[in-house]
Structure 1
Amino acid sequence: MGSQVKKKLRIYGDEEDKISSLPDELIHHILSFTDAKEAVQTSVLSNRWKSLWITLPFLNFGEYRYSSPKNNTKFIRHVLSKRNRQSDLFELNFCVYNKGLRRCLIANVVEYAISHNVQSLDFGLLYKHQPFKLSTFNSNSLKKLTLRVRLEEFAMELGCWDLPCLTTLFLKYPDFDLTKGNQISDSWFTCLPSLRDLGLENWDLSISSFSFSIPDLTTLRLSNCILPKMVLDLPSLITLDLHNVNLPYDMSDMISTLISLQNLTISSPFTQDHVISCPRPLLNLNIRTSSSRYDSGSGYIIVFAPKICNFTSYGIFATTFGVPELETVNIRLQGWFQGLQSSKEEIYHRLTNMFPGLGNAKTLTFDLESIKALNEISSLLVWLPSPFYNMKYIKVPKTYKKSNMSGALRNYLLGGSPRSTIVTTLPQVCGIETIDKDDRKANEEGDNALQDIKFKIEWLAHERTPFRMAIRRLKRKNRKVMESDSTPADTFLDDLTTKIRGELVAELEEKVSKKVQDNLSMILKKIAEANPGLNMDIGRVAAIIASEDDENGTPFSAKTAGTAGTSGTAGISGTAGISGTAGTSGTAGTS
């Protein structure tokens, strides 16, 4: 046995030890993915590794389920005592499943981390224990805190935590005790001036005194929580993630006040119908259904988000968007069928109920599982018309051979948009160089914006849009729910349509006003360039224009007037600026 080891040493002894030659920082990064026991064990490799672990800025103490409390206590104390006292601890993960650890040892671990300027702390006890005081985690360096422990429900002022640099906080109520006091208090967040990212799991927010008023919060993640009854007061919120929460039938009241929301992710079984009316800034929507409860049925989802660009679905469900165009739709099914009781073939057929509501997409992206599922039901697709009337690109994975796609599937995807193509990589959009590039581009963008809003109003008013038809279908299906609402069922569609149309009309008027002002500014600029000899008081002219409207009632701001006037000295006044053929101020100003 010994000779074999020596033989291997002779074979590999001359080879260079490339890992040991790496800088300490890289080796520390590698060891950050290992448990503290494994990191300490590397000290026997060579003299180079003997003292590497004592300066390791990352410490991970695992669950240690199968070790005795005595051995675990001895090891943890050894690590803390032998570690280099001058080295800061950047990250500590302490999630132990061992009832025998003393409370004083656990407190020493937290105190050690805080005294060594820890920036990221993940702390959890996977067994029943007494609640911790919030002040236990006070730190001037901590930026990210994850707690999976019981906390004092009502913290007094002296017992509150002080975390001036904390930007990310995740609180999970322990799974073993969900029925006892899983409430959150506002006092938990009064000392967190830098908080931007908040995650909550296993909390009953409907009975908590937490008011959900955090003005600077940008990201909120709720998992396995009962949603609050009050409206969310989060004016700066950009990202909202709802996982396995009790969604109301109409989510409009819950999220309509989130005026800065851009990204919304919802993971739910969706066994019932839902209406999701999102704020105007929303750009990205992700919806994930649960396959474990799919056999009990899937609800219909109606979405209205005026400026949404990207939609990603994970699972199979029917949906309709109250917008005339979707930039990108991503269909994901990879791994979704695991645990499903029904056969895949039976579920594949339900895909045909999903696509009619996505017919306005410009780009449709499939993962490997979803495109294979469609190919499996080609015999059914032969009899169905293509729902994609606005399509430009169908994107499939690079590993998928286009030659494997059946003719029926190809016709189903491309038949409604003859100019669309199937690609594995989306082309890059390149700009067009012109002599008068800036002026023409601005003019084209203005025209396109006006046409887009006009089309939205006409599309919304059309009686047979998928959006209006889906609303009617949902009203009939959920008549009892609608009747119990404060808004009568007969006026639900009209009120929603009127609200949406009013917003679009206001946006149209704003863009028309801006376009008229820009055109007038351009005309005055050309007059000034053609008549450089004219002399006038530009400030006086700008003040007069700023105080009046043109003959169409379009306000001309002082800012726009100044822009026009500063391009030359012949802005409006003078012989050529007000009267005569050369000035044409009245006619040109309103054209």
Structure 2
Amino acid sequence: MDTESHSSERNSTSLEEDRISCLPDEILCHILSFLPTKNAVATCVLSSKWRLVWALLPNLCFDDRLCLMYENTRALTEDASTRFEDFVNRVILCDSGKINKFSLRCSRLINFSRLKSWVSCAVMCNVVEIELNLDNYKHIKEAIELPESIYTSRALEVVKLNLKFFIKTPPPGNFFPNVKTLQVALNNLDNNFPEWLFSNCPVLEYLSIKGYLYVGDLVTLNISSLTLKRLTLELVDCAGSDTELEVVIRAPNLEYLYINDYLPISYMVDELHSLTKAVIDIDCEYIGEFQSIDAVAQGVVQLLRGVNNTKFLSWAKGILYALVFARQIEDFFPTFPFLTRFALVVDDSGWHLLPLIFSRMPNLESFVFEVDEVRM
């Protein structure tokens, strides 16, 4: 009887023992890192042991799609958005530890002044990666001012800004002194965009630019960097813009280049001595609608000449379509002396140019040939 009683008491004690809470804070924090920030913070009510564990989380990721319930219209109410912002405000102001990543995805930001304070707090906590994604940034009448500290932080290495931002007074010297990855979305791309933001990053290796074009002026996009290794450039036409965009790329250490442009008019691509892969995506349905076909053809030839040192080349059907109208240009298709792999998409135009194209690729080893059956 005593033995059965002792065994029963031992089993009861085992069931009541909270072994998880006995784990070191470092392990508990690692467990919480797999949860959304909202759920991780909610563990503070479990016990006194858990009250401040969430504050040790290295990554603070806020997404109102996960933290809030959408209504039937899939749009957040103003009250729900305000509650979400209050939650973000409480968490980031209470966090006193080092932040590895601060990520914010918000479909409806009500108080834009809070965003500046959140970024400032993250920078003060030596944040390594910042990602800001505002779904409604295209409809913001005034650009968002980010704190100057974000541009001078020495801890920051990755910056992703998908919002309309500006700097009132640019700080002197270099920007983002240790940032290696920079992704920006520039709304209403014009000659007032912060071009110096790209060229003054001393260790930048990966740059991604998504530009939205609305105006009908001549815009110059100048990208110059001695450290850049990867560049992606995506230009989006909004409401039938007839903007003429001049793109200048000078990056002697660039290894990868991706360009998605609906109307390549002027590309000055120089000194790409290290280029190994180039992907050029052009949609031919816009050619001749806003710009003359001759101007687009000239732009395509100019761009191909700038990337002729690459070892891998891939292009969409718009390239071949434009080359059909470039035959009046002397030596319109350049030689690719180092190219070993080639991928292309063709439709019902430009087939007769393929023998010439392949003859300018003396070291070609393989190619991927895709036929667009939609237009065939």
TM-score, normalised with respect to structure 2: 0.65
Is 1:214 the equivalent of 2:233?
no
Residues 61 and 94 of structure 1 are in contact (CA less than 8 Å); yes or no, is this contact kept in structure 2? yes
Residues 92 and 121 of structure 1 are in contact (CA less than 8 Å); yes or no, is this contact kept in structure 2? yes
Matches within 5 A, 1:83-482: 83=95, 85=96, 87-103=97-113, 105-127=114-136, 128=140, 129-133=142-146, 135-138=148-151, 139-152=153-166, 156-158=169-171, 162-174=175-187, 178=188, 181=190, 183-189=192-198, 191-202=200-211, 207-208=218-219, 211-224=222-235, 228-229=245-246, 231-248=248-265, 254-255=268-269, 257-271=271-285, 275=301, 276-277=304-305, 279=307, 281-289=309-317, 304-313=335-344, 318=351, 319=354, 320-321=357-358, 322-330=360-368, 347=373, 350=376
1:55–1:330 distance in 2 versus 1, CA, 3 Å:
farther
Deviations 1:174-225 (A, max 9, x none): 4xxx3x7574244334642112221111156984565433222222211016
Residues 275 and 309 of structure 2 are in contact (CA less than 8 Å); yes or no, is this contact kept in structure 1? yes
Match of 1:73 among 77, 85, 90: 85
Structure in which a larger fraction of residues adopt helix: 1
1:162–1:231 distance in 2 versus 1, CA, 3 Å:
closer
State the shift of 1:141 in Å: 0.6
1:325–1:158 distance in 2 versus 1, CA, 3 Å:
closer
1:258–1:37 distance in 2 versus 1, CA, 3 Å:
same
Residues 59 and 100 of structure 2 are in contact (CA less than 8 Å); yes or no, is this contact kept in structure 1? yes
1:108–1:131 distance in 2 versus 1, CA, 3 Å:
closer
State the shift of 1:163 in Å: 2.0
Distance 1:216 1:259 in 2: 13
Matches within 5 A, 1:483-494: none
Residue type at the aligned position of 1:164: P
1:240–1:289 distance in 2 versus 1, CA, 3 Å:
same
Distance 2:28 2:207 in 1: 34
1:259–1:53 distance in 2 versus 1, CA, 3 Å:
same
Distance 2:270 2:143 in 1: 40
Gaps of 5+ in 2: 1-14, 66-74, 237-242, 288-296, 325-332
What is the root-mean-square deviation in Å for CA atoms of aligned residues?
A: 4.2
Deviations 1:210-257 (A, max 9, x none): 543322222221101678536432222221110134224xx8x73354
- 2:61 matched to which residue of 1? 60
1:241–1:203 distance in 2 versus 1, CA, 3 Å:
same
Residue type at the aligned position of 1:310: R
Deviations 1:403-437 (A, max 9, x none): xxxxxxxxxxxxxxxxxxxxxxxxxxxxxxxxxxx
Higher-Rg structure is 1
Distance 1:215 1:140 in 2: 20
Distance 1:63 1:314 in 2: 40
SS class of match (1:241): strand
SS class of match (1:171): strand
Higher relative contact order (CA 8 A, sep 6+): 2
Distance 2:47 2:368 in 1: 51
Residues 223 and 245 of structure 1 are in contact (CA less than 8 Å); yes or no, is this contact kept in structure 2? no
- Once the two structures are overlaid, the 10-residue window that deviates more, 306-315 or 271-280, is 271-280
Matches within 5 A, 1:490-501: none
1:27–1:100 distance in 2 versus 1, CA, 3 Å:
same
Residues 133 and 159 of structure 1 are in contact (CA less than 8 Å); yes or no, is this contact kept in structure 2? no
Deviations 1:495-534 (A, max 9, x none): xxxxxxxxxxxxxxxxxxxxxxxxxxxxxxxxxxxxxxxx
Aligned residues: 305
Structure in which a larger fraction of residues adopt strand: 2
Identity of aligned residues (%): 18
Residue type at the aligned position of 2:227: D
1:78–1:186 distance in 2 versus 1, CA, 3 Å:
closer
Distance 2:244 2:366 in 1: 30
Gaps of 5+ in 1: 1-12, 291-296, 338-346, 351-591
